Amino acid sequence: MQKEPTDRPVMFEFILGERKEKLLVGDEYDVSTDLKRNITRIKAFTNAGYDHCPILIKGAEFPRKQDEHQSVQTKSLNAGSIITDRESFNRYQWPSVANCNFSLISQAGASLEGNMKFTPYSYDGILENAIGIVGYENLCYMLYDDEELLADIFEKIGTITTEYFVKCLEYEEVGAILCNDDWGFNSQTMLPPQALRKYVFPWYQKIVKMAHDKGKLALVHSCGYYHDIIDDMIHKIQFDGKHSFEDNIYPVEKAYQDLQGKIAILGGIDMNFLARKTAEEVYQRCKKMLSITKQGGYALGSGNSIPDYIPDENYLAMLRAGIEE
């Protein structure tokens, strides 16, 4: 994160699928309670060679409409549509961080080894939660039809998200926070950049400043097109590192070339590449990536996460490339 050379490769990952965690911990896999779930995750991330472990504190999820199409593989971004007007806004059951058991951070943190720290993330981000409870198309109309209601929705979501990270940052077991919020499609941002700057980014500026004031890092996991807002991420919000890259949008090799020294590049080995190529091809791309990033400011990992459809041998090939370097 200091964007300087390190004495060994650094590796980063956001989410590991259930089978991948079982692969890494074997018979020690136990998710019978929230505490054991997080201890299992610590063991998995430790065994894989990561220096951090993500953690989600449940209890502040934004209620969404029951999905009527849970069996389908895709669903509309308009599936939320709980809040459509001022009346439904007033009826909505807003979550409270008072329902979160933040002490889980210190309880599970007793199992952290060496210099490993937690990286808390939230249940979706500010824009994602707005889309989840309003619906994407409805949110776009609201930008022009009811700007006052839109502002109040983002005020509520932003306040609760900020309160969540305030609590997480109180714990010494936390080394960084991860703001996970998708802002782009393949070729454009999900909302106009000026709308993101008005309703979304000021909250992250506040959250990142709080992290920095505590001497902790602030990372962003954001999928999709981001070229029009990368300067905001670096100079306005001041994230320390960015995660999530896709070959069809901006290959990580190109991202590192353009952004090295400005923001740390995390992961980036494309999901489709990891899923479809051979283990040897994965290994060779990872070795090459480590070779061209010796100036620092890079952590090896996937472009998004490691779901269970990624072949085990391909995931292990990526880990081997980092460990052997």
| Cα separation, 4 vs 139, whole angstroms | 41
Helix, strand, coil % over all residues of the chain, rounded to 5: 45, 10, 40
Q: Which of the following CATH numbers is that of domain 19-67+74-253: 3.20.20.210, 3.40.50.1110, 3.40.190.10, 3.40.50.2300?
A: 3.20.20.210
| Cα separation, 281 vs 221, whole angstroms | 25
pTM over 0.85? The answer is yes
Positive/negative CA dihedral, 325, 302, 124, 41: negative
pLDDT, tens only, 176-192: 999 999 999 999 999 99
pLDDT at 69: 47
The total number of residues shown for the chain amounts to 325
pLDDT, tens only, 135-170: 999 999 999 999 999 999 999 999 999 999 999 999
Encode the chain (325 residues) as per-residue pLDDT tens digits.
Answer: 556 677 789 999 999 999 999 999 999 999 999 999 999 999 999 999 999 999 999 999 999 986 554 555 666 777 768 999 999 999 999 999 999 999 999 999 999 999 999 999 999 999 999 999 999 999 999 999 999 999 999 999 999 999 999 999 999 999 999 999 999 999 999 999 999 999 999 999 999 999 999 999 999 999 999 999 999 999 999 999 999 999 999 999 999 999 999 999 999 999 999 999 999 999 999 999 999 999 999 999 999 999 999 999 999 999 999 998 6
Using an 8 Å Cβ cutoff, are 11 and 301 in contact?
yes
> What phi and psi, each to the nearest 5 degrees, are found at residue 266?
-110, 125
Average pLDDT, the chain: 95
List the domain boundaries for the chain: 19-67+74-253
pLDDT, tens only, 4-47: 677 789 999 999 999 999 999 999 999 999 999 999 999 999 99
User: Distances in Å between the alpha carbon of 243 and those of 53, 79, 226, 268?
Assistant: 15, 26, 12, 7
Using an 8 Å Cβ cutoff, are 266 and 219 in contact?
yes
What kind and span of H or E run contains 34?
helix 34-48
